[in-house]
Amino acid sequence: MKLTVVGMGMGAESGMTGQAHQAIEQAGLILGAERMLNAVSFGRGKKVRAVKPAQIAQALAENPERPACVVCSGDTGFYSLADSLRRSLPDWEIETVAGISTVQYLAAKLGRSWQQVHLVSAHGVLCDPVGQVLCARETFFLTGGAGSAEDILRSLCEAGLGDAQVAVGQKLSYPDEQIVQATAAELLDRPFLPLAAVWVTRTDHARPEHFTPGLPDEQFCRGPVPMTKQLVRAAISSLLAPGGEDVLWDVGAGTGSVSVEMALSSPRCKVYAVEKNPEACCLIEQNRKQFGAYNLKICPGSAPQVLAELPAPDKVFIGGADGQLEEIMRLVLCKNAAAVLVASAITLESTAALNALGKKLREQGLLCEYQLVQLAVSEMEPLGRYHRFKPQNPIVLFRAKGAGR
């Protein structure tokens, strides 16, 4: 009950290790995808096409030839079939033979090291290329099936990362191997094979590697548009707790200072800044570029109309509602009954309205909890030979949690 999983490298026989050759030559049964089986002409064992773990288990049961091996591309430890075989065949002893992975091969061809590269599989699975690229200066993608090189390039260009340097390798190790290098924008309209390796190097240096909520006000482009101040932004972030792969809305985004901090909280979150003022939208775009917040999308228009087209949010900040607060909150909770909502108020009337709405929605079973917090911030300023604290306008923050699960 022993099965050897052999990493064959890129596929061409010349790229296989001596240990891989030996395992294949000694095997009485060789299982794998058709492309891999075609590359082992030197093997004398019976070849059976089997790709998925269930197919391999069935083939092992129906074919008594031994020893048995499964041949797979690349290395057995890099997004390999080996892991799923261990789970699917618990009664079998799985031995693995290392191969040359795609990232190793392409790094050598490009003359680069790869120990700092962010490694991502878009092979047969959906992924967020922009979020992955924002995780590191260099990102490597395996593509195929649900994710393609064209999808990655298109996503980068749409997000504003068209200047990123990209290397795409296809048919690696074969005589007609192709490796092209250019910017994402330059490669955008070029067709690539479904199986390709994509290496992205970001050229922008705007996005901070380490982010702490409450960026200094002077770092933002402001103009005549109101902006949520530094310490208030930090408090909003604390109440929202954005991160991970959250979908976040900033309704009435103004200069986009809250939107930017949402986007910087995690490269894999998706932020939608909703703003009806065209001048404010221009400022949001400037701040988006200034901080490298490419996972932030600007949505011009008024709420709640614009919100209907957006994906369901996990967390929402409402900085401006234009009298549509209840409609906005109900739409949020309709899209995600468990969403977290944070809203701000600076007048007694708007504070009373938030409190009344929170009570109403909780009584209707839409909210499981809500709270109001007042922030009163004073900053030191000189007063002749002395100093005093100059108070800012108090602000009230409303936080609520939807009653859904």
Q: What is the pLDDT of residues 67-90, one digit of tens each?
A: 999 999 999 999 888 999 999 999
Whether the predicted pLDDT of 145 surpasses 80: no
What pLDDT, in 10s, does the model give residues 275-307?
999 999 999 999 999 999 999 999 999 999 999
Q: What angle do CA 29, 32, 33 make, to 5 degrees?
A: 145
pLDDT-above-70 percentage for the chain = 100
pTM: 0.89
How many CB atoms are closer than 10 A to CB 356? 11
DSSP 129-179: HHHHHTTSSEEEEEEETTB-HHHHHHHHHHHT-TTSEEEEEESTTSTT-EE
Whether the predicted pLDDT of 101 surpasses 80: yes
For residue 114, the SS3 value is coil
How many CB atoms are closer than 10 A to CB 95? 15
What pLDDT, in 10s, does the model give residues 219-266?
999 988 989 999 999 999 999 999 999 999 999 999 999 999 999 999
Residue 177: both structure tokens together: 């191997």
pLDDT-above-90 percentage for the chain = 85
Whether the predicted pLDDT of 136 surpasses 90: yes
Task: State mean pLDDT over 11-31.
Answer: 92
Task: State mean pLDDT over 165-184.
Answer: 95
What pLDDT, in 10s, does the model give residues 336-390?
999 999 999 999 999 999 999 999 999 999 999 999 999 998 999 999 999 999 9
Whether the predicted pLDDT of 206 surpasses 90: no
Q: Which of 264, 278, 246 is nearest to 342 (CA)?
A: 246
What pLDDT, in 10s, does the model give residues 316-326?
999 989 899 99
What pLDDT, in 10s, does the model give residues 53-70?
999 999 999 999 999 999
pLDDT for the residue numbered 21: 93
405: pLDDT confidence band, cut at 50, 70 and 90? confident
Average pLDDT of the chain, as a whole number = 94
Q: What secondary structure letter does DSSP report for 74?
A: B
- How many angstroms separate the CA atoms of 182 and 201, rounded? 10
Name the helix (H) or strand (E) containing 362. Answer: helix 348-363
pLDDT for the residue numbered 292: 95
